[in-house]
């Protein structure tokens, strides 16, 4: 079975018969031409998979021939063969989109390698990816049978995310469902791990970095360098895989240091993001800022209104004095984001600028309510792609690129929680005053199957707001979401396959915290 059709164009083609014979023996079909005019006629008449093109030919030269071939078949890979190693020539050839070049005299192994690269590369790479993934699958499956630490779980999560992104490039391998099944299996064990260990983390020094540790560990050390301007970006509801897509773009501009931290429970903005900015547990905020807590309770839209105050209060407790004072910006819409983008350089005069970006959270909630967005992003792979499309054209990327050109600037970037694609509903019973969240609830007389959720009888044991003496919390595990018995099937169908947050899963809890240092 032929591996591909090749056209070799050279005015001394007879000297290359041994190469052509070798390619034929290896299963490639090879046509030849001795000049540019004949080559163009053949490209018009036949379908080729690869062209070897001599740069120096009598009559129509290689560069002109290349240009005309690309007019006919822009996607056709062309390997230019040349005696001339002049840098200017190479730049001209690259400008008209050669795929590669070889320098004469070419040897058989160079030619064969080029053919494998362009005609069999996807197949060879796919086989290697399949082999390596099966090996990693077995490693993770074995690890799940051991006593894993929080560091082990962070490593497993990173590995699964990297494989998810890798398999996006190889959809024909048929491994996506296998990976999805393994992620679900991991979340079963991860939920058990969190249920066993979370309360101990609240009391111990040996624990993962949690939401309320982020500023202490990552931001304050940068602020102690008085010559720096520090930017602290918090992207609401950013999953680890979404960050990895963004990171691949930013490597061109920054030296990137990536670590992990764990969101507190519930993995929802009122708890996790306020914990980041305050350096405090939600229960401590209830005591320390009672007047703020009352407003928060009365007005759902004000749940994160006081982040700047929390931040300044934390810095004051840590004896960090900033002149000028810290700046805080929350970007809720594209127009405001463009305004900040245009003025971002002016913020470098500040010692600290905190910027909250809400778009990814809006995307997650919007997908729940929009059939169009569900059609565009039907699964995690497409959701990553949609995030990439936003980021490439976002004011956020423009701001980061602008800051990458500044000296004495350091950026710390993180998120407050991730999100998980919820595929299974579980019935919950509660009174009319219970909160409406799908992945966690607080209220009186809450009842749920404890196989699918953590039941918190005493909120203070989890450092959560007491609210009243009769308030309980429930927090969903894995990919479950809460549905009331009333109109159960209607709401089950409405919210199934939506991205939600607030519960216990690797996607919601294990998060990146990034240091971006501009490349000089």
- pLDDT tens per residue across span 340-370: 999 999 999 999 999 999 999 999 988 888 8
Q: Does one domain contain both 444 and 411? A: no
Domain enclosing residue 84, as ranges: 4-106
- Of 182, 201, 220, which residue is a domain's last? 201
- Classify residue 206: in a domain, yes or no: no
Q: What is the pLDDT of residue 399?
A: 97
SS3 40: helix
Question: What is the domain count for the chain?
Answer: 4
Q: What is the pLDDT of residue 502?
A: 96
- Classify residue 472: in a domain, yes or no: yes
Checking if the pLDDT of 291 tops 70, the result is no
Q: Does one domain contain both 270 and 392? A: yes
- Classify residue 76: in a domain, yes or no: yes
SS3 49: coil
- Give the rounded percent of residues in the chain with a pLDDT score beyond 90: 68
- Of 106, 131, 164, which residue is a domain's last? 106
CB neighbour list of residue 417: distance below 8 Å, 6 or more residues apart? 237, 263, 267, 268, 269, 272, 273, 501, 502, 508, 509, 511
- Classify residue 176: in a domain, yes or no: yes
Q: Does one domain contain both 88 and 149? A: no
Mean pLDDT calculated for residue range 394-408:
95
- Classify residue 501: in a domain, yes or no: no
Checking if the pLDDT of 103 tops 80, the result is yes
Q: What is the pLDDT of residue 299?
A: 42
Q: What is the pLDDT of residue 99?
A: 83
Q: What is the pLDDT of residue 117?
A: 87
Residue among 448, 456, 399, 458 at smallest CA distance from 426: 448
Q: Does one domain contain both 240 and 373? A: yes
Tens-place pLDDT, residues 42-95: 999 999 999 999 988 888 888 899 989 999 999 999 998 887 666 566 666 566
- Classify residue 275: in a domain, yes or no: yes
Length of the chain measured in residues: 520
Q: Does one domain contain both 277 and 388? A: yes
Tens-place pLDDT, residues 496-519: 999 999 999 999 999 999 999 999
Q: Report which of residues 94 and 105 the model is more confident about.
A: 105
Q: What is the pLDDT of residue 388?
A: 95
Q: Does one domain contain both 379 and 261? A: yes
CATH number of the domain enclosing 405? 3.40.720
Tokens representing 453 are 């959720």
Tokens representing 244 are 């990895």
Q: Does one domain contain both 366 and 456? A: no
Q: Does one domain contain both 194 and 237? A: no
């Amino acid at each position: 079975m032929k591996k591909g059709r090749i056209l070799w164009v050279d005015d001394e083609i007879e000297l290359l018969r041994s190469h052509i014979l070798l390619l034929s023996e290896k299963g490639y079909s090879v046509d030849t031409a001795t000049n540019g005019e004949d080559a163009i006629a053949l490209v018009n008449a036949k379908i080729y998979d690869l062209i070897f093109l001599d740069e120096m030919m009598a009559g129509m030269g290689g560069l002109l021939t290349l240009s005309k071939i690309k007019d006919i078949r822009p996607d056709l890979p062309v390997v230019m063969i040349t005696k001339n190693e002049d840098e200017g020539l190479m730049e001209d050839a690259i400008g008209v989109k050669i795929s590669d070049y070889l320098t004469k005299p070419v040897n058989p192994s160079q030619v064969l390698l080029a053919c494998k690269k362009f005609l069999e590369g996807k197949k060879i790479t796919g086989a290697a990816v399949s082999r390596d993934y099966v090996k990693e699958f077995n490693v993770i499956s074995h690890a799940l049978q051991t006593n894993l630490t929080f560091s082990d779980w962070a490593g497993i999560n990173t590995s699964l995310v990297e494989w998810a992104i890798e398999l996006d490039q190889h959809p024909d391998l048929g491994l996506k469902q296998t990976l999805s099944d393994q992620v679900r299996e991991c979340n079963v064990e991860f939920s058990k791990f969190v249920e066993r260990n979370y309360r101990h983390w609240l009391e111990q020094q040996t624990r993962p970095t949690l939401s309320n540790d982020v500023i202490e560990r990552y931001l304050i050390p940068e602020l102690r360098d008085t010559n720096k301007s520090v930017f602290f970006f918090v992207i609401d509801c950013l999953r680890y895989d979404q960050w990895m897509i963004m990171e691949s773009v930013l490597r061109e501009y920054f030296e990137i240091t990536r670590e992990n931290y764990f969101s507190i429970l519930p993995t929802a903005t009122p708890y996790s993001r306020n914990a980041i900015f305050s350096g405090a547990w939600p229960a401590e905020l209830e005591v320390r800022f009672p007047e703020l807590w009352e407003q928060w309770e009365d007005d759902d839209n004000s749940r994160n209104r006081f982040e700047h105050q929390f931040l300044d209060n934390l810095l004051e407790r840590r004896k960090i004095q900033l002149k000028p004072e810290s700046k805080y910006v929350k970007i809720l819409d594209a127009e405001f984001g463009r305004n900040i983008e245009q003025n971002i350089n002016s913020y470098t005069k500040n010692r600290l600028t905190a910027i909250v970006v809400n778009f990814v959270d809006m995307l997650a909630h919007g997908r729940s309510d929009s059939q169009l967005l569900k059609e565009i992003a039907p699964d995690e792979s497409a959701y990553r792609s949609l995030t990439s499309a936003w980021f490439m054209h976002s004011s956020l990327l423009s701001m980061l690129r602008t800051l990458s050109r500044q000296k004495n600037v350091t950026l710390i970037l993180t998120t407050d929680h991730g999100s998980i694609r919820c595929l299974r509903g579980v019935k919950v019973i509660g009174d009319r005053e219970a909160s409406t969240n799908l992945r966690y609830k607080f209220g009186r007389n809450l009842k749920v199957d404890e196989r699918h959720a953590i039941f918190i009888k005493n909120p203070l044991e989890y450092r959560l707001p007491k609210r009243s003496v009769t308030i309980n919390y429930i927090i969903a595990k894995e990919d479950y979401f809460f549905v009331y018995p009333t109109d159960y099937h209607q709401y089950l169908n409405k919210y199934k396959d939506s991205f939600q947050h607030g519960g216990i899963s690797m996607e919601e809890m294990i998060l990146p915290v990034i240091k971006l240092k501009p490349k000089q």
